Chains A and B, each alone.
Chain A
């Protein structure tokens, strides 16, 4: 056999294979041209990796590497997981054949990408949240164009930003395009004069 016992053991019984549909972060590395492809899914709670799943297209080494990475990172904090290197994974597996060290040993990269994805989503969510709060505040005051979300100076008549004439929908009371036949919010037909 070309692989160590540890590699074969992980290849035969890979840990944490699968997909997390509502993952907090997803990381994908490789492509079929170079022979190996890995996708990592993570769930994060209180800065900790509470669940990890992976899918791998590739040789025995690639599958064993993914399995080992998922095992090494499980339960770790994000910062700890970021310390895992491709090299440390190969060492944990009792070594990999020389020619597989580069192409198949991408598990740590895939995990780091998933963490990066999680962090990006986090900061995007925070921005979104901040935006929602301002929007909520704005809509309470009733001074927001429903199309471009720009502020309306002259209430319920014309948005200067996206140049739409507005009127109040008789059904739901929200602002909608005066020249559309249906309300953008509730879909009610608006009688044209």
Chain B
């Protein structure tokens, strides 16, 4: 049972089908003038249209990239360089993805400055805080549309308004959101937006950056004329075609997917806190991704839960320090005010379309005994029980 949508989704069979010819006979380079090349080019441009349509953009506003992380790097570094004569200050939220936070760190070394906007206990950014953080030097604000670790959906349209009232550009990292909730760049009023195919049944290595017409951006890869000269290199044709097909299917199937997955997700959010004491929902209860249920389980650590669930055939994520390569507690949970010990008990269930009600019942059945077993091993739980007796 796969419950790790936020890590990767399976490839949509139609996306695979669309990709196959471009891995086999249609191997032409889109920049070649012969028929083989032109065939590949039209496939890429068709995909561009489909991706644009998914977020209500025009195709000339879509730049293909290799990942959500690349899109995020691209927009931060590209705008910092393009707008450096205007100002060298940017505003970010405290819970951004590492590809935003680390890009900012690199840019700081080059003399750019960043302000971090806090979040509340649900992980929500207050647009007023963004307003206060903007200075005369500010050129860009970047706040994610949805957080993959806690599922919270940010008030991005309001933040965009704040930015535009002060003539500052606004980017949103929508990697966790696009293809999973309706996303319309015009309604949101964003100038740039990152999205990635592997978050909505497209292939890995295939992502995009929406950039509003007329917005300046320094090239990320210099070379040929691909992607308007801003990202050179022979196109990942099969990947782009797969991304396009996944975008097309998301547009068609999105409402049905949400209707199917959300009640199952709701059952997890309702039942787990009833079944297990000292287990808490993380993120906003209402304003959250429809496939996303995240919790912290007190007194135990996430990796133990993850490994035990894996042995039961259930794949999940955790934001605990032990499960991260850097062995650091989740910056998202800490920013939301969780203490280190509680943040260690992070566990994230993110549903994919294939999940059935039977799967959910099985999970509800096997997870509580796993928690109990790990708690019996935990010195923190023993202390808690002793305190309770008093």
Contact = CB atoms under 8 A, between A and B. Distances in A.
Interface of A: 1, 8, 11-12, 14, 17-19, 28, 32-39, 55-63, 99-100, 103-104
B162 interface: no
A146 to B, nearest CB: 31
A103 B382 contact: no
Nearest to A102: B327
A99 B321 CA distance: 11
Interface in B228-276: none
Contacts of A59: 301, 303-304, 320, 322-323
Contacts of A33: 329, 340-341
B378 A60 contact: no
Contacts of A39: 379
A57 B380 contact: yes
Contacts of B341: 32-33, 57
A55 B375 CA distance: 9
B225 interface: no
Contact of B300 (A17, A19, A57): A57
B7 interface: no
A32 B379 contact: no
B325 interface: yes
A191 B253 CA distance: 93
A28 to B, nearest CB: 7
Contacts of B376: 17-18
B311 interface: yes
A82 to B, nearest CB: 22
A120 B228 CA distance: 74
Contacts of A12: 311
A87 to B, nearest CB: 19
Interface in B8-41: none
Contacts of A1: 310
Contacts of B221: none
B304 A60 contact: yes
A58 B325 CA distance: 15
Contact of A57 (B307, B310, B339, B378): B378
A100 B301 CA distance: 14
B344 A35 contact: yes
B279 to A, nearest CB: 16
B201 interface: no
Contact of B307 (A11, A19, A34, A35): A11
B303 A14 contact: no
B345 to A, nearest CB: 9
Given A55-B378, A57-B378, A32 B340 contact: yes
B378 A35 contact: no
Chain B CB count within 10 A is highest, among A12, A59, A103, for A59
A48 B327 CA distance: 37
B377 interface: yes
Contact of A60 (B303, B321, B344, B382): B303
B322 to A, nearest CB: 3
Contact of B327 (A14, A35, A55, A56): A35
B329 A35 contact: yes
A104 B377 CA distance: 15
5 contacts: A17-B377, A56-B379, A58-B304, A103-B322, A104-B322
B7 to A, nearest CB: 15
Chain B CB count within 10 A is highest, among A1, A8, A33, for A33
B319 to A, nearest CB: 12
A104 B380 CA distance: 17
A32 B302 CA distance: 12
Give the top 3 A-B pairs by smallest Cβ distance, nearest first.
A32-B341, A59-B322, A59-B303
A39 B379 CA distance: 7
B74 interface: no
A121 to B, nearest CB: 20
B300 A103 contact: no
Interface string B288-308: 000000000001110110010
A96 to B, nearest CB: 12
Nearest to B326: A99
A18 B381 CA distance: 12
Contacts of A34: 321
Contacts of A57: 299-301, 341, 344, 377-380
